[in-house]
Amino acid sequence: MRYVSTRGGMAPQPFSETLLEGLAPDGGLAVPEEMPQVDAETLERWRALTYPQLAAEVLGLFATDIPREDLARMTDAAYAGFPDEVVPLRSIGGGITLVGLSEGPTLAFKDMAMQFLGQVLSYVLERKDQVLNIVGATSGDTGSAAEHALRGKDRVSVFMLSPQGRMSTFQRAQMYSLDDANVHNIAVEGVFDDCQNLVKRLSGDLDFKHAQHLGAVNSINLGRIAAQVVYYFWAWLRVTDAVEPEHREGFEVSFAVPSGNFGNILSGFFARSMGLPIRRLVLAANENNVLDEFFRTGIYRPRSAANTFATSSPSMDISKASNLERFIHALVGHSASDVVDAWAALDRDGFFDFSAEQPRFEAEFGIVSGTSTHADRLATIRSVHEESGELIDPHTADGVTVARQYVEQDVPMLVLETAKPQKFAETITEAIGVDLEYSPELQRMLDAPQHVTEMADDEQALRAFVAEHALH
C-alpha cells in the first residue's frame, strides 16, 4: 500500500513516510493509491476480535510496511489505558445508538487515534533515528489528545496552537496544565482557522519544514484518519452481533458524525469505500455550517475569522475544513489537476462550485448533512437525559439533533460520541440545571497552574518560537 498526494506532486510513499510528512510537499494531503477492500468473509472473521486486535487488522491494511506483530503490540499499548470495552455502544431510544468514543485519557474521541499515533510515531522515529517537531492547531480536543499521547517522548516535541478564549475552561486546563518539557502551548489571537493557516504556512515552506523537522498530528495526518476507520468497523460488528448470521452480509447502518474539520466523517467515508455496509454518513454542523451548505448546494464558501461564530460546541467552530480536499479528490475521480483547480478557485474567488455534482453526494457517496444551533443542543441534551438517562456533550448533541432528521425504519442510526459532558459543564448546567461533579484528579487538573505562551497571529513570531525550542 502506497500513498500519493491529492495534488499529484508527491512520489508514492509507504505509510511510515506519510506519518512524518503531514502535509504533502505540494501542499496536498496523502491518500491511498487504491483503497483496501474488505469482504463479508473478512468481516465475519473479525467479529470475535478485541478492539486492539481489530485495530491491528484494519491498520494493517494501510500500514503494509510495518510488520503485523509490531502493529499488534502498538495497538495493545495504545488502548491499554481504556476500559475493557474500549468502545461501548449505548441505545438512547428513537432508533439511535451512541458509539462511545470518549473512554480515553482526555475524555474525547481524539484519543482513539492519537494514542495509536503516539505509539507509531515513536516506533518509526526510533527506527529512522530521527526527531519530529509537531506543529498543530486545535479547536479544543485535538490539542489535549496529542499532548497527552506524546508528552515525555524523547524524539517528539509538540507546538500546539489554540485560539485565545475560544475553548472551554476544561479544554484549556487539559492542555495548559501540562508542564512536560516537550510540550509547548501557544494561544493565538484569533480563531481556529487562523491557527490552522499559520500551521499550513510553516508546513508549506519546505526549507523551514525540513530544517526544523516539522510534522503534523491533526487530521491532515493520514495515520489519524486510518486509526479512526477502526471504530466504524467495530460499531458495525457490534450492531450486527444481534442480527441472524444469514442476514448480516450487506446489513446497512447509518452514522451521524459531528464535524468541523471533516476528519472524523472522512474516516467513515474511507470505511464505506472499503466495503463496510454504510447507508448514510450524516454530517452534523453547528452554526459554523459551511460544510452543511456545501453538501446541500455543492458550493463551498469558507467564512472569514470575523464571521466564524464562537459557539457552545467549540471544537466545531471551524470554517475551513482541511480534510474536505480528500473528499474532493474522490469526487473528481482522483484527478489531481481538478483538485488543484478547485483550490485555485478558492484562493482566487473565495469559493468553489461543484453544484453540478451535488446529487452524487448522497446517491454515490451516501453523505447528507444538517445544522444544529445552541437552542437545539440544549433541547437535545435535555431530551436525551430525560428519555434515556444518558448525559451527552454539546457536540454529540449536534450529532443527535441532525441524526433524528434521517432516522429510517430498520436502519440503525449510530451517533459518534465526541466527548464526555464534563468537558463542557457550563452548557450541561444550562441545559438540565445540574452542576457536574469532578473527580479529585480532574479537580486537581482544573486547579493546576497553566503554562501557555500568548502570541499574535504572526507567522514570523511563530517561526522564531519553533526554531528556538525545536528538537534537532
CATH of the domain at 306: 3.40.50.1100
Amino acid identity of residue 124, one-letter, is V
| pTM for this entry | 0.94
Amino acid identity of residue 130, one-letter, is Q
pLDDT reading at 183 higher than 90: yes
Other C-beta atoms within 10 Å of 348: how many? 9
What pLDDT band is residue 249 in, cutting at 50, 70 and 90? Answer: very high
pLDDT in tens, 335-367: 999 999 999 999 999 999 999 999 999 999 999
Other C-beta atoms within 10 Å of 292: how many? 20
pLDDT reading at 273 higher than 90: yes
Q: Which residues are known to be catalytic?
A: 110
pLDDT reading at 152 higher than 80: yes
Question: What is residue 437's predicted lDDT score, i.e. its pLDDT?
Answer: 87
Contact 284, 370 (CB under 8 A): yes
Which sign, positive or negative, has the C-alpha torsion 283, 284, 290, 292?
Answer: positive
Question: What is residue 87's predicted lDDT score, i.e. its pLDDT?
Answer: 98
Contact 307, 319 (CB under 8 A): yes
Q: Is residue 288 part of a domain?
A: yes
CA–CA gap between residue 328 and residue 266 (Å, rounded): 11
What pLDDT band is residue 220 in, cutting at 50, 70 and 90? Answer: confident
Q: What mean pLDDT is predicted for residues 423-446? A: 93
pLDDT reading at 140 higher than 90: no
pLDDT reading at 322 higher than 90: no
Q: What mean pLDDT is predicted for residues 81-96? A: 96
pLDDT reading at 28 higher than 90: yes
Contact 115, 87 (CB under 8 A): no
CA–CA gap between residue 13 and residue 426 (Å, rounded): 46
pLDDT in tens, 103-113: 999 999 999 99
CA–CA gap between residue 171 and residue 208 (Å, rounded): 30
Q: Is residue 290 part of a domain?
A: yes
Give me 422's grid cell.
Answer: 464534563
Instruction: Identify the three-state secondary structure at position 280.
Output: strand
CA–CA gap between residue 449 and residue 444 (Å, rounded): 10
Question: What is residue 331's predicted lDDT score, i.e. its pLDDT?
Answer: 98
Question: What is residue 330's predicted lDDT score, i.e. its pLDDT?
Answer: 97
Q: Is residue 248 part of a domain?
A: yes
Contact 311, 395 (CB under 8 A): no
Q: Which domain holds residue 241?
A: 89-105+226-432
Question: What is residue 305's predicted lDDT score, i.e. its pLDDT?
Answer: 85
Q: Is residue 161 part of a domain?
A: no
Amino acid identity of residue 241, one-letter, is D
Q: Is residue 166 part of a domain?
A: no
Q: What mean pLDDT is predicted for residues 49-70? A: 98
Q: Is residue 128 part of a domain?
A: no
Q: Is residue 189 part of a domain?
A: no
Domains: count for the chain: 1
Question: What is residue 47's predicted lDDT score, i.e. its pLDDT?
Answer: 98
Q: Is residue 332 part of a domain?
A: yes
DSSP character for 437?
A: P
